[in-house]
Structure 1
Amino acid sequence: MEKLQAALEKARRSRGGDVVMPVPRSAPVQSIDRTTERSNALWQALPAFEVNAEHLEAHRVVTRVASAKATPFDILRTKVLLQMRQNGWKRLAITSPMPRSGKSTTACNLALGLGRQRDMRAMLFDLDLRDPSVHAFFEFSPPHGIGELLSGTVSFAEQGVRLGDNVAISMAQGRIADPTRVLLAEETAEALARVEADYDPDLMIFDLPSMLVNDDTRAFLKNVDCALIVARAGTTLYGQLDTCEREIAEQTNVLGVVLNAYRHSDPTKNDE
């Protein structure tokens, strides 16, 4: 981890002033006062679903309840919340340089961890349209696919589901043809603006494809305030991480890098 982090910092310094400052995303539609009956009714009207705790844990989604396993994700949740609040950000993209880094697992854990914050409302959108997986984590098939939501064919009230009182999830039914076109389309931006205006979530999480595999994530980053990069220890190469961070920084703010599957020694124990 230390070598990777040092190399990344060196690359950042070498880029210096050459880094393109991101253009802030368009201002969202004015949100509804959540104290109104309509705002509360919209959330309560979303179809509720239950999760299988054993299935979630088998897939490393462990933040539904507080536990030692949830602690690393809880720390991440707190850091994300503090930094986003400080900057007035609401939309968070989660991506990785390459597949199988744990980005979707991180997105699901972050969403469920936010669900334990009773004074908050969070939304999770599965926008990895070539290889969606959020529905598999939750063992749920939505009545309509997320593509129908983004095209404006159906509303979020028809497509989204609610977990508990304060987490809403938009899942895919399967792969979508020509996902880059969908993610780049103005109608997608308009659909998400309507959702944000109607439901007024505190945080919108977008599980995006891996950055270096195709141009889907590049097509969508204009719609978010910041992005979190998930790298995998022992798998993600320094060059991949550097390229990923640099390309994201050209379009939006880099919130940080999460190193997944990193094992460090316990400082309370003697390594000998």
Structure 2
Amino acid sequence: MEKLQAALDKARKTRTGEGSVPVRRQLQTRPQAIAPEVDALWQDLASFEVDPRLLVDHLVVTREAGEAATPFDILRTKTLLQMRQNGWKRLAITSPMPGAGKTTVACNLALGMGRQRDLRSMLFDLDLRDPSAHHFFETAPPYPIGDVLTGKVPFAAQGMRYGDNVAISTGHHPVADPTRLLLAEETAEVLDAIEAAYKPDLMIFDLPSVLVNDDTRAFLKNVDCALIVIRAEETRFGQFDTCEREVAEHTNVLGVVLNAYRYGENTAHKSWKGEKA
């Protein structure tokens, strides 16, 4: 574990001189007043509830404040502050290889943001070959997310609302050719339209692992920054290093989440830039 930590620090230092990837566009850094018609759009989304015990079973622990939620809350706050400072709204979450816990992090971030009553967040499950976010919430939309990305179905008919201020768009069946969708300009236009209409403070995209296919590379042009999730004692440094280089070619690397790092009798679910949460 110490070797991985040292390698993370070394990799970060070697990239200090590299410039940031240009963002999609410059955004306002402060939340703007929301018009009544935007409130109506959010309220019109189909709402759903899920048994809190089922969320905990899936390690989604940020529905309420507490000891279990604290590491994710720290990540939420650091993420939000840094994104606001840079005028960013779109966050990708990925990993070098499957099994690191990226979807768990994405779901916890979304619900953690939901506890901030003045913020609206959206979570899109774009791991189209193996969608899983619907399992975490024990619910599925009436249409596949691919129908939204192609413009076949409006977001209003597919997106679902948890509470008053978290919108979730998930898939429930694998997509045969996801790279075609993720690379398409039509997808970029659809997301721009959703952002313009619903005016979310944060859009979170749960993307596939970088080293298993080219789906994430195809989509990163649509986000402002990315978090890379690695798993203690499983992710190899070479995998992380390659993943970070790939992501940094297409967007800004916001930070690194070290998942399942055990110290004492507790588990730190995440870290920031290689530091313990």
- Structure 1 partner of 2:269: none
Residue 106 of structure 2: aligned partner: 107
C-alpha separation in 2, matches of 1:15 and 1:161? 39
Structure 1 residue 134, shift from structure 2 partner = 0.4
Distance 2:253 2:177 in 1: 27
1:147-167 per-residue CA deviation (whole Å, 9 max, x = no partner) reads 000000011101100000000
Contact 2:97–2:212 (CA under 8 A) maintained in structure 1:
yes
Aligned to 1:146: 145
- Residue 8 (str. 1) matches residue 8 (str. 2): yes
Tell me if 1:25 matches 2:35.
no
How far is 1:199 from its partner?
Answer: 0.2
Maintained 8 Å contact 1:21/1:250: no
What is aligned with 1:259? 258
Which residue number corresponds to residue 271 of structure 2?
none
Q: Is 1:166 equivalent to 2:165 in the alignment?
A: yes
Structure 1 partner of 2:275:
none
Q: Which structure 2 residues correspond to residues 120-269 of structure 1 after superposition, within 5 A?
A: 120-265=119-264
Q: Which runs of 5+ in 2 are unaligned?
A: 267-277
Post-superposition offset of 1:173? 2.2
Distance 2:153 2:26 in 1: 23
1:202 is matched by which residue type in structure 2?
Answer: D
Q: What whole-Å deviation, never above 9, does each CA across 1:166-190 have from its counterpart, x for those lacking one?
A: 0000010211111011100001000
Given that 1:147 and 1:176 are in contact with CA atoms closer than 8 Å, whether structure 2 keeps it comes out as yes
Deviation digits for residues 92-112 of structure 1 (CA, Å, limit 9, x no counterpart):
000000000000000000000
Q: What is the Cα deviation at residue 43 of structure 1?
A: 0.5
How far apart are residue 53 of structure 1 and its match?
1.0
Relative to structure 1, is the Cα distance of residues 64 and 25 closer, same or farther in structure 2, using a 3 angstrom cutoff?
A: same
TM-score (normalizing by structure 2):
0.90
**Corresponding position: 1:51 with 2:50:** yes
Which residue is 1:270 aligned to? Answer: none
Equivalent residues of 1:34, 1:200 under 8 A apart: no
Alpha-carbon distance between aligned partners in 1 of 2:45 and 2:14, rounded to the nearest angstrom:
49
Distance 1:16 1:53 in 2: 42
Secondary structure of 2:46's match?
Answer: coil
Q: CA RMSD of the aligned region, Å?
A: 1.8
Conserved? CA contact 1:84–1:90, under 8 Å: yes
Which contiguous aligned blocks of 4+ residues in structure 1 show a shift greater than 6 angstroms?
none
CA contact (8 A) 2:140 2:172 kept: yes
Shift of 1:27: 6.0
Corresponding residue SS for 1:125: strand
Question: Normalising by the residue count of structure 1, what TM-score does the alignment of the two structures yield?
Answer: 0.92
Larger radius of gyration: 1
| 1:15–1:38 Cα change, 3 Å | closer
Map of 2:273 onto structure 1: none
**2:59 is aligned with 1:60:** yes
Summarize deviations over 1:167-217 as a string: whole Å, max 9, x none.
000010211111011100001000100100000000000000001110000
Count of residues in correspondence between the two structures? 263
Alpha-carbon shift at residue 2 of structure 1 (Å): 3.5
Percent identity at matched positions? 68
Question: Which secondary structure state, in structure 2, belongs to the residue aligned with residue 263 of structure 1?
Answer: strand
> For structure 1, which runs of at least 5 residues remain unmatched after alignment?
268-272
The Cα offsets for residues 36-69 of structure 1, whole Å up to 9 and x where unpaired, read as: 2211100011111001211111110011011111
Q: Which has the higher strand share?
A: 2
In the alignment, the residues of structure 1 paired with residue 117 and residue 13 of structure 2 have an alpha-carbon distance, to the nearest angstrom, of 41
